[in-house]
Amino acid sequence: MNDHCPTIREIELLTSHASFTAADLPARKHRTLQTLDKEFEVVIAGGGIAGLTAALVSARLGRKTLVLAGKALGGLLLSIEKIEGFPGYADGIPGYELCPIIQEQAVAAGVEFAMTDLRRVEAQGNGWNAKTAQGDMHARALVLATGSTLKEMGVPGETRLRGKGVSYCASCDAPLLRNRTVAVVGGGDSALQESLTLAAFAERVIVLARGEKLSAQMVYRNRVAEHPKIEIRFATVVEQILGAEKVTGARIRDTAGDAAADLELAALFVYIGLQPNTEFLKGLMRLDPSGRIPADDQMRTELRGVFAAGVVRSGSAGRAVASAGDGTTAAVAADRFLADGDW
Ligand SMILES: Cc1cc2nc3c(=O)[nH]c(=O)nc-3n(C[C@H](O)[C@H](O)[C@H](O)COP(=O)(O)OP(=O)(O)OC[C@H]3O[C@@H](n4cnc5c(N)ncnc54)[C@H](O)[C@@H]3O)c2cc1C
């Protein structure tokens, strides 16, 4: 388990299939809740860009701040080869480079980290008890920045062949697919962006889009249309992933003509949307129909002292810079709330 965003060297080691042990990681202190105080002014759940930015801003405002970072810091950023449209990086920046930069800023500002999930939230006194597997933490303000997980298709073979050719991380697996044929499921930004990542290595990338049109931004639609290795099949759904020990193909159906066919593939990448990580909040607060957390323009939820930030929030713009902006707004609003108690 990493208690930090992997560095480029670590990513290389992890993806090169070189023998990789914990000794290759730089020595950093692994903190557990047992070694920390139990009282914080601000506790942030989630160590993606929203949570890390909220933590950085909160600590810079002088607030005693803890991040409950779940299993690994970095969130969705970690699996993205190139974050585009992020101000300040004209050529884009790998997500796994952006993450350690923000983490180091947060550490320098005095943020504390614990590698554990927030499991439940309970009102206590004038604040909230954040319940984790390592015990309870108390905070007057809580920022929920637990992000999202890539959705699964739910078709036969998907779970069985996960990690054996079924993948949700193009930047992790693309170098292993040199000169092979792969498919990407989806028609939005993530699907097209990751098709481009794959096309740098694979011989052929087939994009399987359910609709008659792609919903991705124009910039990605144009790049994909011009790419000689990428082919798009519209009105196509995956019915089954084929292969005994590893992916050998997929059974697809053309929804217009209703014809099924088998595609020969070395791997299949699923980018059909995001599922918010809010299971643990059910019964505590109202969620929108998609499972995201409604919040106002200061990121305040319906619970006094509880804020939401990032792609877990209803109406998030879904971009990295928007998550960072949410984190900033939540931290500033939490600081004001702690100062004057107004809600
Ligand atoms: C393939 C792909 C490509 C993308 N490309 C771009 C791009 O080019 N440009 C751009 O601007 N954006 C891009 N995005 C979007 C961008 O990555 C996200 O908007 C951003 O990373 C979301 O950050 P977040 O902090 O809100 O959530 P996340 O990154 O999801 O982070 C949430 C964190 O919270 C943790 N967590 C979950 N539950 C708990 C719990 N109970 N307790 C504690 N922690 C928990 C998670 O494990 C995770 O680490 C892309 C997204 C994808 C999927």
Asked if residue 308 has pLDDT above 80, the reply is yes
Which of 229, 246, 270 marks a domain boundary? 270
Average confidence (pLDDT) over 140-149: 97
pLDDT tens, residue by residue, 252-293: 999 887 889 999 999 999 999 999 999 999 999 999 999 999
DSSP states along 87-127: TT-TT-B-HHHHHHHHHHHHHHHT-EEE-----EEEEETTE
Please report whether residue 1 resides in a domain.
Answer: no
Give the pLDDT of residue 79.
87
Rounded to 10 degrees, what is the CA torsion of 234, 239, 243, 249?
A: -10
**Average pLDDT score over the chain:** 90
128 membership: H or E segment, kind and range:
strand 127-132
Q: Are residues 111 and 166 in the same domain?
A: no
Largest CA distance in the chain: 64
Residue nearest to atom 50 of ligand 1 (CA): 190
Average confidence (pLDDT) over 134-149: 95
- Atom number of ligand 1 nearest to Cα 318: 19
Average confidence (pLDDT) over 49-72: 96
Could you tell which of 5, 76, 81 is best to mutate to test the pocket of ligand 1, judged by most ligand atoms within 8 Å of the CB?
76
Please report whether residue 28 resides in a domain.
Answer: yes
Q: How many CA atoms lie within 13 A of 140 on its CB side?
A: 17
Q: Are residues 18 and 129 in the same domain?
A: yes
Q: Are residues 192 and 266 in the same domain?
A: yes
Residue nearest to atom 18 of ligand 1 (CA): 320
What is the distance between the terminal CA atoms of the chain, rounded to a whole angstrom?
A: 38
Average confidence (pLDDT) over 126-135: 92
| 278 and 292 Cβ atoms separated by less than 8 Å | yes
The 10 Å Cβ neighbour count of residue 256 is: 10
Please report whether residue 3 resides in a domain.
Answer: no
- Binned at pLDDT 50, 70 and 90, residue 30 comes out as very low
Give the pLDDT of residue 11.
46
Average confidence (pLDDT) over 238-263: 94
Give the pLDDT of residue 25.
34
Give the pLDDT of residue 36.
67
Q: Are residues 262 and 316 in the same domain?
A: no
Q: Are residues 172 and 321 in the same domain?
A: no
Does the CB atom of residue 131 touch ligand 1 within 6 A? Answer: no
- Binned at pLDDT 50, 70 and 90, residue 171 comes out as confident
Does the CB atom of residue 53 touch ligand 1 within 6 A? Answer: no
As a whole-number percent, the residues of the chain with pLDDT over 70 amount to 90
- Binned at pLDDT 50, 70 and 90, residue 134 comes out as confident
Please report whether residue 183 resides in a domain.
Answer: yes
Q: Which domain holds residue 330?
A: 8-149+274-340
Give the pLDDT of residue 155.
97
Q: Are residues 38 and 86 in the same domain?
A: yes
Please report whether residue 84 resides in a domain.
Answer: yes
Residue nearest to atom 6 of ligand 1 (CA): 83
Give the pLDDT of residue 38.
84
How many structural domains comprise the chain?
2
Does the CB atom of residue 318 touch ligand 1 within 6 A? Answer: yes
Q: Are residues 193 and 238 in the same domain?
A: yes
Q: Are residues 53 and 105 in the same domain?
A: yes
Could you tell which of 67, 73, 146 is best to mutate to test the pocket of ligand 1, judged by most ligand atoms within 8 Å of the CB?
146
Q: Are residues 126 and 14 in the same domain?
A: yes
Give the pLDDT of residue 32.
55
CATH number of the domain that residue 41 is part of: 3.50.50.60
Between residues 157 and 10, the one the model is more confident about:
157
Which of 270, 296, 328 marks a domain boundary? 270
Please report whether residue 107 resides in a domain.
Answer: yes
Does the CB atom of residue 276 touch ligand 1 within 6 A? Answer: no
Cα 311 to averaged position of ligand 1 atoms, centre (Å): 7
Cα 76 to averaged position of ligand 1 atoms, centre (Å): 4
Average confidence (pLDDT) over 323-337: 98
Give the pLDDT of residue 37.
73
Could you tell which of 93, 195, 277, 282 is best to mutate to test the pocket of ligand 1, judged by most ligand atoms within 8 Å of the CB?
277
Give the pLDDT of residue 27.
37
Between residues 9 and 174, the one the model is more confident about:
174
Give the pLDDT of residue 21.
33
Give the pLDDT of residue 257.
78
Which of 217, 243, 270 marks a domain boundary? 270
Model pTM score: 0.88
